Amino acid sequence: MPEPSRDDQDGDDKDFLGGGGDGVIDRAVGLPVAKEGIPFIAVPAGVTLLAGWMGWVVVAVMAGLATAFVAWFFRNPARVIPRDTHLVVAPGDGKVIAIEEEFEPRYLKDRALRVTIFLNVFNVHINRIPCDGVIEDVQYQPGAFLVASRPDATLRNEQNALMIRTVEGLKVLCVQVAGLIARRIVCWASARDQAVRGERFGLIRFGSRMDTFLPIGTRLRVAVGDKVKGGETILGELQ
């Protein structure tokens, strides 16, 4: 599989508007779906139109349902981003399946708290930056395509890592991990980009996993089993 694309996001991808006292409303403008989903939507949509024109009612209905599902899968909803710069937000939608303290050798080079979020096929698959700061590096690593919920997927699966230094000088590592079905990682971020909490930076197609490594001492605000929303749910507070 090729290295994930890092095309620059155009201005149509994001728009930050002032929200209420609790956060900033991040509204997608233009199409309500990720641009990477358009080819996947176009195929069943074309079949729907052709079948309708030919009078194939059953085929048209089935293709229409497929079009709706694929468009729903690539949906790109607005989120309310917490304002406090010390907060770390979830990088993706899904369920927290693990919180472990372990040595992180790539970036933190120290013991860290790993928060793992599993994204099933029904979750929003847009990925968001967890904290404010600077992206010091983006590293793609080829690998296997094990079921993303397996513990060893952290080290063995194909992945893409964002290495972020926060405004306080702390290090946070955010990793997109491919899975058994999700074999296409897309990343729009590049080294030296400004990291803006809650900003969209990529997606993983059709089920995946996100690992966030936080400094020891971070005050966690989630537990195993919690359901989270990318860019909105607070994972923890940096100390």
Question: Which residue type does 175 have?
Answer: V
**Which pLDDT tens digit goes with each residue over 8-44?**
333 333 333 333 346 665 655 456 777 777 777 788 8
Say how far apart CA 66 and CA 84 lie, in whole Å.
Answer: 40
Say how far apart CA 210 and CA 222 lie, in whole Å.
Answer: 15
Residue bearing tokens 């149509």: 12
Q: How many helices (H) and strands (E) does the chain have?
A: 3, 17
CA-based Rg of the chain, rounded to a whole angstrom? 18
Assess contact for 210 and 94: CB atoms under 8 A.
yes
Assess contact for 201 and 82: CB atoms under 8 A.
no
208 is catalytic: yes
Assess contact for 4 and 177: CB atoms under 8 A.
no
Confidence (pLDDT) at 201: 94
Confidence (pLDDT) at 24: 63
Dihedral, CA of residue 96, residue 23, residue 170 and residue 178, to nearest 10: 40
Measured in residues, the chain has a length of 239
**Which pLDDT tens digit goes with each residue over 172-186?**
999 999 877 656 788
Confidence (pLDDT) at 173: 96
Which CATH number describes the domain made up of 84-237?
2.70.70
Say how far apart CA 46 and CA 109 lie, in whole Å.
Answer: 50
Confidence (pLDDT) at 9: 38
- Note down pLDDT in tens along the chain; length 239 residues: 444 444 433 333 333 333 334 666 565 545 677 777 777 778 888 888 988 898 898 888 898 898 888 787 788 888 889 988 899 999 999 999 999 999 988 888 899 999 999 998 888 888 999 999 999 999 998 877 777 777 777 778 888 999 999 988 999 999 999 877 656 788 999 999 999 999 999 988 766 889 999 999 999 999 999 999 999 999 999 98
Q: Report pTM.
A: 0.79
Sketch the domain layout of the chain as residue ranges.
Answer: 25-74, 84-237
Confidence (pLDDT) at 143: 78
